[in-house]
Amino acid sequence: MRIVAGKHRGARLVAPDGLEIRPTSERAREALFSILDGGRFPLTLRGARVLDLFSGTGALGLEALSRGAAQVVFVESGAAALAALRANIATLRAAGIAQIREADATRFIERTPEPVDLVLMDPPYGSGLWVEALDTIGRGGWVGPDTVIAVEVGKKEAVSAPEGYTLADDRRYGAARLILLQREAAE
């Protein structure tokens, strides 16, 4: 597994052995960031503030850093994933702009003074935990009107936008399905 593009293109990332952690494939990451950079969303990765929930190895958030994000907050609770995440941040020498919160993403109650530009979520397939996590971070001020939320789920999962959000894009890549959400415009 490696970083696909940007400053750290080609850098190898580590992942723990076993089936508990399923890093987002290079193909799906490349597709996601191409969509985000394509001009459809009010998002510029250069200088962006990013929240990466269910971080695992950090592949999604580290890809954002490589492509110019100014800051990424990683939220992960698994010991093996945290060890890999710390190693990957060290490999990219990104300790100054990468922050780790050892927490359950569905109970991440930390508040922020301003919303992030991008939320990345890669929860266990079939768990539906992303909906609960989205509600939690919404209440914590992490999601604003221009925040783009990217969620990876299993390709066969039934997905609908939670109340207050719109499904802006929905694509399949192998076993993965990438959905992009935004807050509904206030009336």
Spell out the per-residue pLDDT of the chain, length 187, in tens.
Answer: 888 888 988 889 988 876 556 667 778 888 889 898 888 888 888 999 999 999 999 999 999 999 999 999 999 999 999 999 999 999 999 988 999 999 999 988 788 889 999 999 999 888 989 999 999 999 999 999 999 999 999 888 888 899 999 999 999 988 889 999 998 876 5
CB atoms within 10 A of CB 122: 27
Domain ranges of the chain: 26-183
Dihedral, CA atoms, 37, 39, 44, 50, nearest 10 degrees? -70
The DSSP secondary structure of 48-93, one letter per residue, reads -EEEEES-TT-HHHHHHHHTT-SEEEEEE--HHHHHHHHHHHHHTT
| Secondary structure letter of residue 112 according to DSSP | -
The CATH architecture that domain 26-183 belongs to is 3-Layer(aba) Sandwich (3.40)
Supply the pTM of this predicted model. 0.92
